[in-house]
Amino acid sequence: MNDPAISIALVGSGGSGVMTAGSLLLEAAGRAGLYGMMSRSSGPQIRGGEAAALLRISTRPVFCLGNRFDFLVAIDWANAERFAAEIPLDTESTIVGDDDIPDEFSASGATFKEVSFKRLAAQSAGLRPNMIALGLIGSAIGLPPGELEAVAKKLLDHKGKATVEASVSALSIGAATLDGLKTIDIKTESVAELWNISGNEAAGLGAVRGGVRFVAAYPITPATEMLEWLAPALEKIGGTLVQAEDELASVNQLIGASFGGTPSLTATSGPGLALMTESIGLAVASETPVVVVNVMRGGPSTGIPTKSEQSDLNIALYGLHGDAPHLVVAPLSVSDCLFSAQWAVHLAETLQTAAIVLSDQSLAQTRAVIPRPVDVFFGARRAVQTEAWEDYERYATVPGGVSPMALPGLTGCQYTADGLEHNTQGTPSSRVEDHARQLDKRRDKLALHDYGDHWAHIDGNGPMAIITWGSSLAPVEEAVETLAPEGIALRVIAPRLLMPVQPERMAAALEGVETALVVEQSHGGQFFHYIRAFYAPECELHSMARPGPLPIRPADVTHAIREQWRGS
């Protein structure tokens, strides 16, 4: 395949500025009219640990890392070997850095160019090794020097003239050390408005667009940046973010705020979701809309907080006690984090239930230069009782199942929301018929809703299909593109709505499929078992399930497909 993308890994010890250099490189590429993405990988240390910025820059939008890296630029090599599996190199690759390259990298046969960024920086005061590295790699891939200078100035302007001048000087020193290095020129083309946004920020913006004005949360990696974006954003638009004492408190604060009429959301990761599950059930039972964005990381337990995995699917689907129908929505790309969060808020509000949004570290902490996401508007809002009514019943069984919610302050409709099973008025009841009626109500309102085409991303046709979800979609799509010229046509089905399940729609999507591969980033094949359990496809069904933290790469998928369907 003619891959126009360039992949670059920047590594260094924590505090060496690799993330800053990577972010500036991405921003400069965007200014030059290019698309790109940068994912972050780091060790567990707060400061001083190893860090890697993994970039892919292209003339067209890219949503996943490539199969290999063209450049590995090391500001230093401290513990960089821990990333060896995440940075595949080959004889076409180029390594730039000090000469004490770890064997794990030198064994690749990549071309080595010795550059000591620290020594170059020591030439004069104020020079920073990461800015020299940025100048070098920016120049290597053919970015206009003016764009690199512009982004550096924007970042450092507040630090004064001397700092800006030193950084400009560092950029040109970096660019000048280029002699003998293989350069790749990227032809830039004019494009529409571009955004540089992370999945966490996109989900935050989606939440705000969905109408969220109250957020309560407890800090947790890798969801915290979403909260850090939301705190000032909510303050600006008249909302509130509260840092709660724990996840038990944060989800209950949401329920309280939502009971009062304010659309509410929290962001967390696996351990936090586990703590919240009891009260997510309360939101379901009391029919109080709340949205929980769960940014998945390696599990179980504390697991691998800084790296990605799609292994919270089971807890999101099945983690609530009792029969507790709720919504599970999974964004399919960095930019889709915006739509999915907005949609989840819309669904939770209109269906008066809990929604779990399953993002993951690789979406959330990846920055991407993307075309501006399209504006989406959902007209429907929460059904609210607006007039006093003597016979008001909060949990009335009505057609469609969604009964209007009275908000405190409305005269004559006082009721008590309850996690105890209740009758239509909300009075606690353990009667057989009340339980049956309310179970049906909570199920039916979700089942009867028309989720439209948003339920899944479906592309292609033919008898062979790949069923996947979330961040695994991007490498799958790239693999499909790679295989097309070989005459291998593949259908791709990626549900965005994981609960409630959509058997009729899935059956239509699978019409004519003879064999399907289920691709996911989990050890236990959670998504595969979900597909089997709820959709029971009549076709042959195979599983490609691999745990994190190694990202699924397009080549992994093409390999699996060739293995699976050799000769077919």
Partner 1 sequence: MERVVTSGAATEVTLKPKDYKSDIKPVWCPGCGDFSVLAAITRALAALKVAPENVAVISGIGCSSRIPAYLDTYGFHGAHGRALPLATGLKISRPDLCVLVAGGDGDGFSIGGNHFLQVCRRNVDITYIVMDNQVYGMTKGQASPTTEPDWDRSKLTPHGTRINAFYPLVVALASGANFIARASSSDPNGAAKVIGEAIGHPGFSFVQVLSPCVTFRPEQRDWKKIVRPAPIEATTDPAAAARRLMTDDNFYLGVLYKGNRAPFEPDSAGQPSTEQELEEEFKV
Question: Footprint of partner 1 on this chain (CB under 8 A)?
Answer: 27, 30-31, 193-197, 201, 205, 208-209, 213-214, 216, 232-233, 235-238, 240, 242, 244-246, 248-250, 252-262, 264, 278-279, 282, 286, 369, 372, 406, 408-420, 426-428
CA 352-354-356 angle, to 5 degrees, is 145
CA–CA gap between residue 361 and residue 471 (Å, rounded): 9
- Contact criterion met (CB below 8 Å) for 189 and 356: no
CA–CA gap between residue 496 and residue 447 (Å, rounded): 16
* 3-state secondary structure at position 440: helix
User: Considering beta carbons, is residue 156 or 285 the nearer one to partner 1?
Assistant: 285
Assigned token pair, 54:
């993994």
Shortest reach from residue 318's CB to partner 1, in Å:
19
User: Considering beta carbons, is residue 409 or 452 the nearer one to partner 1?
Assistant: 409
User: Considering beta carbons, is residue 159 or 372 the nearer one to partner 1?
Assistant: 372
User: Considering beta carbons, is residue 210 or 270 the nearer one to partner 1?
Assistant: 210
User: Considering beta carbons, is residue 153 or 449 the nearer one to partner 1?
Assistant: 153
Tokens 């509130």 belong to residue: 240
Shortest reach from residue 235's CB to partner 1, in Å:
5
* 3-state secondary structure at position 309: coil
Shortest reach from residue 276's CB to partner 1, in Å:
10
Q: Which long-range contacts (CB under 8 A, 24 or more apart) does 141-146 make?
A: 141/6, 141/8, 141/57, 141/71, 141/183, 141/184, 141/185, 141/186, 142/183, 142/184, 142/185, 142/186, 143/25, 143/28, 143/29, 143/32, 144/32, 145/171, 145/172, 145/175
Looking at residue 179, its amino acid is: D
Shortest reach from residue 207's CB to partner 1, in Å:
11
Edge-to-edge strand ranges of the sheet holding 515-520: 456-459, 491-495, 464-468, 515-520, 540-545
Assigned token pair, 17:
């500025």
User: Considering beta carbons, is residue 196 or 359 the nearer one to partner 1?
Assistant: 196
CA 67-141-36 angle, to 5 degrees, is 55
User: Considering beta carbons, is residue 27 or 556 the nearer one to partner 1?
Assistant: 27
- Chain-centroid distance, C-alpha 290: 19
Tokens 């120049």 belong to residue: 139
Dihedral (CA of 161, 167, 171, 173) sign: positive
Shortest reach from residue 422's CB to partner 1, in Å:
9
User: Considering beta carbons, is residue 110 or 156 the nearer one to partner 1?
Assistant: 156
Shortest reach from residue 240's CB to partner 1, in Å:
4
User: Considering beta carbons, is residue 189 or 453 the nearer one to partner 1?
Assistant: 189
Q: Which long-range contacts (CB under 8 A, 24 or more apart) does 242-246 make?
A: 242/214, 242/215, 242/216, 242/217, 243/216, 243/217, 243/218, 243/219, 244/216, 244/217, 244/218, 245/218, 246/218, 246/275
Shortest reach from residue 348's CB to partner 1, in Å:
15
At 27, which helix (H) or strand (E)? helix 18-31
Dihedral (CA of 268, 472, 339, 361) sign: positive
User: Considering beta carbons, is residue 28 or 296 the nearer one to partner 1?
Assistant: 28
DSSP alpha helix (H) spans, 157-219: 161-176, 199-209
Shortest reach from residue 336's CB to partner 1, in Å:
15
Shortest reach from residue 287's CB to partner 1, in Å:
12
Q: Give whole-number Cα distances, 277 to 252, 437, 481, in Å.
A: 11, 23, 40
CA–CA gap between residue 473 and residue 479 (Å, rounded): 10
Shortest reach from residue 144's CB to partner 1, in Å:
14
User: Considering beta carbons, is residue 149 or 201 the nearer one to partner 1?
Assistant: 201
Shortest reach from residue 363's CB to partner 1, in Å:
16
Assigned token pair, 229:
């974006």
* Cis status of the peptide bond prior to 300, with omega within 30 of 0: yes
User: Considering beta carbons, is residue 297 or 367 the nearer one to partner 1?
Assistant: 367
Q: Give whole-number Cα distances, 70 to 28, 84, 281, 382, 391, in Å.
A: 19, 14, 48, 51, 70
Shortest reach from residue 255's CB to partner 1, in Å:
5
CA–CA gap between residue 292 and residue 314 (Å, rounded): 15
Shortest reach from residue 435's CB to partner 1, in Å:
16
